[in-house]
Amino acid sequence: MIHAGNSVGKFSAAKSGSTGESEPLLDLRQRIAGLEQLPPMPEMTAKVLKLSGDPDAEIKDLVKIIELDPSLAALVMRYASSPFFAYGGKIDSVFTAVTRVLGFNTVMNLALGATAARAFKIPRNVPLGLDAHWQHAIFSAALAQALSAALPSETRPPAGLAYLAGLLHNFGHLILGHLFRQEFLILNKFVTASPERSIVDIEKETLGATHGEVGAWLLESWHLPEEIVVSTLFHHDENYQGEHAVYAHLVMLTDGLLKTFGMGEGDYVGPPPCALEYLGISEYQATTIANRIMEECNALESMALSIAS
């Protein structure tokens, strides 16, 4: 498993000793730890990530990269045109979408998340499949960004990073489905059979590793921001209080809120009290923001379907 002290450590599932628990049904720990080559970062993701680390990067540089990818350009313009942003003008270019509606950081992180997943091919019509994954990811990203604006100023994360945390927190399911297809399909059968059970408990009993551990392992190896690695690893851990915990609790809150709308595999149906307390936001605030996001569900559904396709 990935271990964390003040920061995220290395993936070391093969070295974990006996905990007194029964062995998982399909133990992937040895196979994961024994992989000789990690899935490579997609070329477009690498370009966007390099630009994000450039202090001299300008909007024109980001627009130039996005315009090299017609599907990504269309996605950015579709998002900017959605009623969610209530922009009254015409979105006729990526440049307009970035400068007048979405902003540099949101577009940067949307591009990172959307392109990072392209290397992974998983089944579509299963509970944890591609369609469900992207529906939940897009709604989580929009909701995490909106919730972040309501947090106290002293703990408020940047909107772009909040968006990316929501977008990528279940990335591990893409990796599991891509690298271990048969085991992933078996996991989906267990999830279908026990919808009331925690997804993390089912994964531990079935695979020996969780989607948070596997997702954080790869995102860390790709050198994505540590805030994103932490939120991926700990978004099911209500007791996590370490560095960047605000991102993990923010994602946990989005999961609970979206589950009230029948979306995702969160541990709570509704806002987790632990997340509300840690983030300093009321249940009324959180549910009001979630209801506002769901009013624009058609636009977000369209984005999700576009990426999944």
- DSSP assignment of 90-152 equals ---SHHHIIIIII-HHHHHHHHHHHHHGGG----SSSTTSHHHHHHHHHHHHHHHHHHHTTS-
Q: Are residues 212 and 79 in the same domain?
A: no
pLDDT in tens, 226-267: 999 999 999 999 999 999 999 999 999 999 999 999 999 888
Last residue within a domain, chosen from 60, 94, 119: 119
Let me know: does 33 contact 14? Beta carbons within 8 Å.
yes
Let me know: does 109 contact 164? Beta carbons within 8 Å.
yes
The tally of domains found in the chain comes to 2
Q: Are residues 259 and 133 in the same domain?
A: yes
Q: Are residues 197 and 259 in the same domain?
A: yes
Let me know: does 259 contact 249? Beta carbons within 8 Å.
no
Q: Are residues 226 and 267 in the same domain?
A: yes
| Mean pLDDT score, 146-169 | 94
| 79 — pLDDT class (breaks 50, 70, 90) | confident
Q: Are residues 53 and 77 in the same domain?
A: yes
Would residue 216 count as lying in a domain?
A: yes
Q: Are residues 241 and 288 in the same domain?
A: yes
Residue 21, pLDDT score? 62
Angle between helices 104-116 and 159-168 (to 10 degrees): 20
Q: Are residues 170 and 308 in the same domain?
A: yes
Residue 303, pLDDT score? 85
* CA-based nearest residue to 146, from 136, 156, 154, 155: 156
Would residue 152 count as lying in a domain?
A: yes
H/E element holding 8?
A: strand 8-11
Q: Are residues 171 and 262 in the same domain?
A: yes
Boundaries of domain holding 252: 122-309
| pLDDT for residue 84 is more than 80 | no
| Mean pLDDT score, 8-33 | 60
Residue 83, pLDDT score? 80
Residue 117, pLDDT score? 85
CA dihedral of 170, 174, 176, 178, whole degrees rounded to 10:
180
Would residue 22 count as lying in a domain?
A: no
Q: How many residues does the chain have?
A: 309
| pLDDT for residue 12 is more than 80 | no
Q: Are residues 156 and 269 in the same domain?
A: yes
Mean pLDDT of the chain: 88
Q: Are residues 95 and 146 in the same domain?
A: no
Last residue within a domain, chosen from 119, 148, 180: 119
Phi and psi (nearest 5°) for 139?
-65, -40
pLDDT in tens, 110-151: 999 889 888 788 998 899 999 999 999 999 999 999 999 999
Residue with tokens 């989580």: 140
* Start-to-end Cα distance in the chain: 32
* CA-based nearest residue to 212, from 185, 247, 160: 247
Residue 267, pLDDT score? 87
| pLDDT for residue 18 is more than 60 | no
| Mean pLDDT score, 60-80 | 93
Q: Are residues 85 and 219 in the same domain?
A: no
| pLDDT for residue 161 is more than 60 | yes
